[in-house]
Structure 1
Amino acid sequence: MKIIYLAFLALVSISSISSTQTDRYQTRTGSISFEASVPTFEPIKAVNKSTTVVLDMKTGNIAALALVKGFRFPIALMQEHFNENYIESDDYPKAILKGSLSDFDANTLSQNISTTFIFDGTIELHGKKKIISFPILLNPSGENIKLESNFNLKPADFDIEIPSIVSNKIAQEVQVSVNAILNKK
């Protein structure tokens, strides 16, 4: 009887792990890019192509993690200033997004219908957390879900100081774009 009970417990554990895995989509190769350019000055933009994004299909919870040093700029000096002077990536190595999709319905996605949901949650950057809300488009395709989003952030909201000597060369609002292909896990 004990053996049957242990076998049943093992089967339940395995099936719950399997069902948890099939209810989650994720990637480690998501892309976050940002642009803080202003007209008539050198473009300020970067991309990070190794962002982790996880979507829980049962709850609509979503999380993303990007290592700040993973952002690549077209000009090496910009990347150095970004990491050392502005974002201080040695002290604040991660950007973290956590929250949920309002009115999330996984059945919509199972019907291969592109749907825009509103993300409500927090973003943590430069040691500061901010409540944030923005649209996210989910586009299912076979076993994958394509995620796209655009939103703006203000460096001042995260206590990122821009020296007055360059403040007119950097936008007050940074345009952020997120693109990821989430795979069923």
Structure 2
Amino acid sequence: MKKNLLLFLLFFSISIVAQNKKVATNGTIFFEASVPFFEAVEAKNNKVYSAINTKNGSIYFEVYISLFQFERSLMQDHFNTNYMESHKFPKAYFKGVIENFSINDLSTSPNQYYIKGRISIHGVSKNIRVTASVFKTVQNAIVIQSKFALNTDDFKIEIPSLVSNKISKTVNVTLYTNFH
């Protein structure tokens, strides 16, 4: 009897924890590091993995660097080989929390939140704090949208002097994810 009760409580507690977690595998990250009067430096990745705990607002993102798609394949090759060294650093991560998050406060109108945590790119980790719009869809999915800037120097991403005037050290990032 005790064994059955213990198994029931274990199963019940696992299902409660699972209800607090939502996962998305098709989030999008777009970045641009263009300089006026030169060719656009921009790419998009539609295979961003993310997870949110709706009870405490903790959030996680993971992205494969090599899945960023550029308009020109040569630019994509240089990005992976020369700048991001995706063979050595295949993923970027973010682990953090949405400050003052409550699932009960979400509506179909976007609310502004701060998301703080630790981002790891190119083998370097850094604490960041960015703003994000968070809202629920009519289908009860949670959507997170954010725009923020990162600096290549912060992550030891070297831009060769030959092209340094054509690529911005400030990288503008746009994030979109939809937790169903």
TM-score, with structure 1 as normaliser: 0.93
Distance, in Å, in 2 between the alignment partners of 1:60 and 1:181 is: 15
User: 1:25: which partner in 2?
Assistant: 22
User: 1:115: which partner in 2?
Assistant: 111
SS of structure 1 residue aligned to 2:70:
coil
- Matching of residue 67 in structure 1 with residue 103 in structure 2: no
Q: CA RMSD in A?
A: 1.1
User: 2:121: which partner in 1?
Assistant: 125
- Matching of residue 158 in structure 1 with residue 155 in structure 2: yes
| Residues paired across the two proteins, number | 179
| Identity of matched residues, % | 35
**Residue 173 of structure 1: how far off its partner (Å):** 0.5
Deviation string 1:113-137 (CA, Å, 9 cap, x unpaired) is 5322101111100000011010111
Q: What one-letter code is carried by the residue in structure 1 that aligns with 2:110?
A: S
- Matching of residue 91 in structure 1 with residue 88 in structure 2: yes
**Residue 172 of structure 1: how far off its partner (Å):** 2.0
Structure 1 residues not aligned, in runs of 5+: none
SS of structure 2 residue aligned to 1:165:
coil
From 128, 146, 150, give the equivalent of 1:149.
Answer: 146
TM-score, with structure 2 as normaliser: 0.96
Distance, in Å, in 1 between the alignment partners of 2:108 and 2:70 is: 36
**Residue 112 of structure 1: how far off its partner (Å):** 4.4
**Residue 38 of structure 1: how far off its partner (Å):** 1.0
